[in-house]
Amino acid sequence: MKILAIDTTGQTASAAIAEENKLIAEFTLNYKLTHSQTIMPMVAEVCEKSETKPRDVDYIACASGPGSFTGLRIGAATAKGLALALEKEIVPVPTLDALAYNVFETDKIICPIMDARRSQVYTAFYRWDNGKLRRLTEMMAISIDEVIQMAEGYGQKVIFLGDGVPVHQERLSCYPDFIYAPAHCSLQRAASVAALAMVLVREGKAVAGNAFEPIYLRKSQAEREREERLQGEEKHND
């Protein structure tokens, strides 16, 4: 089974090709360029350098969110375009699951946190159990204080990773049972998306290209501002 995977859900853009237990190629960039500028050239690069013809991959794996609204839309459009053009199915991989998958077979609780702005993070809690990564909570958009309260409730060490860590480092550093993943496994990686997609394919989780939908845990800023404006107008009219 050969999978082409992409992740554009956060600050990092990443593309990878994996085959069974072998990572063939990965291109990850965490810099100033926008995902609309980078992701397709990155896909082309990993295919060219690995001498992989896109039509020869079996599935397109895409980090499905939560994450940046712009990033989610770019990733979804890219994955759908590839899937429909190549007549392949898409494997939706929740971003938080893929982030947690960066940390393998630890006895500690894993907590990826993605900066969601407005003093919130996207998060969930995970644990490895008999070789399988298990999500202990639903995926949430909550405040860092709520995350800390939940993490303390486990009564053991918790590994934090994701782009929300540096944003909230000052708050998190007050707790001795909190530890932090190193840079090479702290941010989104398409290799992890591809590896987890292998598992999801065997569980029958692949979908048709036109059926793929990103995971949005909350409304976009534009939608929130529109609702606030309408509510203000209603109050004014009253």
Q: Token digits for 59?
A: 């599935």
Q: Give the pLDDT score at 83.
A: 98
Q: What gap in Å lies between CA 23 and CA 2, rounded to an integer?
A: 10
Q: What is the mean pLDDT of residues 1-12?
A: 96
Residue 230 pLDDT grade (very low, low, confident, very high; cuts 50, 70, 90): low
Q: What is the mean pLDDT of residues 181-189?
A: 95
Q: What gap in Å lies between CA 103 and CA 33, rounded to an integer?
A: 27
Phi-psi region of 188 (alpha: psi -120 to 50; beta: other; left: phi over 0): beta
For residue 58, give every residue at least 6 positions away whose Cβ sits within 8 Å of its Cβ, in sequence order, or none.
1, 2, 3, 88
* Residue ranges covered by each domain of the chain: 2-96+187-225, 103-185
CATH class of 103-185: alpha beta
pLDDT digits (tens, 9 = 90+) for 115-150: 998 889 999 999 999 999 999 999 999 999 999 999
Q: Give the pLDDT score at 32.
A: 79
Q: What is the mean pLDDT of residues 214-238?
A: 61
116 and 218 Cβ atoms separated by less than 8 Å: yes
230 and 80 Cβ atoms separated by less than 8 Å: no
Does 33 or 52 have the greater pLDDT score? 52
pLDDT digits (tens, 9 = 90+) for 71-130: 999 999 999 999 999 999 999 999 999 999 999 999 999 999 999 988 899 999 999 999
Q: What is the mean pLDDT of residues 169-176?
A: 95
Q: Does position 168 have pLDDT exceeding 90, yes or no?
A: yes
Q: What gap in Å lies between CA 50 and CA 2, rounded to an integer?
A: 12
Q: Give the pLDDT score at 218.
A: 81
Q: What gap in Å lies between CA 112 and CA 98, rounded to an integer?
A: 9
Instruction: Give 236: exposed, middle or buried? Use CB within 10 Å, 0-12, 13-18, 19+.
Output: exposed
Asked if 2-96+187-225 and 103-185 have one fold, the answer is yes
Mean pLDDT score of the chain: 93
Entry pTM: 0.91
Q: Give the rounded percent of residues in the chain with a pLDDT score beyond 70.
A: 92
Domain 2-96+187-225 superfamily per CATH: ATPase, nucleotide binding domain (3.30.420.40)
